[in-house]
């Protein structure tokens, strides 16, 4: 029986690349995002290559937390059953502390943390009722180290990682597996000038590695594995002065 996977924030970036990669691997898909025109285009692209797959779409703005659970349930009803939910929807922007960008920082918190928590909660409620499932959260290596002009983003990813870790312990007895993905720097439209950051990879490469971690149900997946899995244990002690050389 084919796996059925829901991906939030699937209209662009990592979400779109992951949808295309999982489709190659035979996953039926439930795709959500705010931009339905992009989801429709993605569905057509997938069906052109994999016409046998079931692809269902749902408009969803994770900033509207109260709509997440009913929207997810409606999508699940369309799909029939769901094995995995990928909590991917997120935003980022370079923001400076104390320079009149409080609204932008709080918007990042709303999407990346409040929306992500509400999505995990909705998925967990469904999986508890169905005696098991798999929740995948797209966090970040930025959850492990401070990055200038990324204070809000780092804070949200650190908090989301902790939420995932706590949920994994709490829900293990319900046969609900958790995979926390920690991407490094991935080239997408979410942030401009990504070329200044080290070890940058394409969304397609990131999606391939993420899909491997998802299918193997790894507790933690570092993407790309090389070199970040070797650097990860040291990230909390990286000298902050190094960031000046990347002009961020």
137: Cβ–Cβ under 8 A, 6 or more apart, which residues? Answer: 87, 116, 120, 160, 161, 164, 178, 179, 180, 181
Cα 117 from Cα 220, distance rounded (Å): 18
Q: What is the DSSP letter of 170?
A: H
Cα 5 from Cα 41, distance rounded (Å): 18
Cα 175 from Cα 158, distance rounded (Å): 25
Cα 92 from Cα 42, distance rounded (Å): 22
153 is catalytic: yes
Looking at 153, 163, 226, 245, which residue is catalytic? 153
Residues labelled as active-site residues: 153
């Amino acid at each position: 029986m084919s796996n059925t996977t829901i991906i939030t924030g699937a209209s662009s970036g990592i979400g779109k690349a992951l949808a295309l990669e999982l489709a190659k691997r035979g996953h039926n898909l439930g795709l959500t995002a705010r931009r339905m025109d992009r989801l429709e285009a993605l569905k057509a692209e997938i069906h052109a290559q994999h016409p046998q797959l079931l692809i269902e779409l749902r408009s969803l703005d994770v900033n509207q937390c109260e709509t997440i659970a009913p929207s997810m349930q409606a999508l699940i009803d369309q799909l029939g059953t769901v094995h995995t939910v990928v909590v991917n929807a997120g935003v980022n922007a370079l923001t400076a502390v104390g320079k009149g960008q409080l609204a932008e920082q709080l918007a990042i918190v709303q999407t990346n943390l409040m929306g992500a928590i509400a999505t995990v909660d909705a998925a967990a409620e469904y999986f508890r009722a169905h005696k098991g499932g798999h929740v995948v959260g797209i966090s970040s290596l930025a959850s492990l180290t401070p990055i200038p002009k990324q204070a809000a983003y780092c804070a949200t990813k650190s908090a989301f990682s902790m939420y995932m870790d706590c949920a994994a312990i709490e829900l293990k007895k319900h046969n609900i597996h958790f995979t926390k993905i920690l991407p490094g720097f991935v080239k997408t439209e979410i942030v401009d000038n990504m070329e200044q950051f080290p070890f940058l990879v394409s969304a397609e490469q990131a999606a391939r590695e993420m899909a491997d971690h998802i299918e193997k149900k790894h507790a933690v997946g570092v993407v790309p594995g090389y070199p970040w899995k070797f650097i990860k244990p040291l990230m909390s002690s990286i000298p902050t002065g190094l960031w000046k050389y990347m002009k961020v």
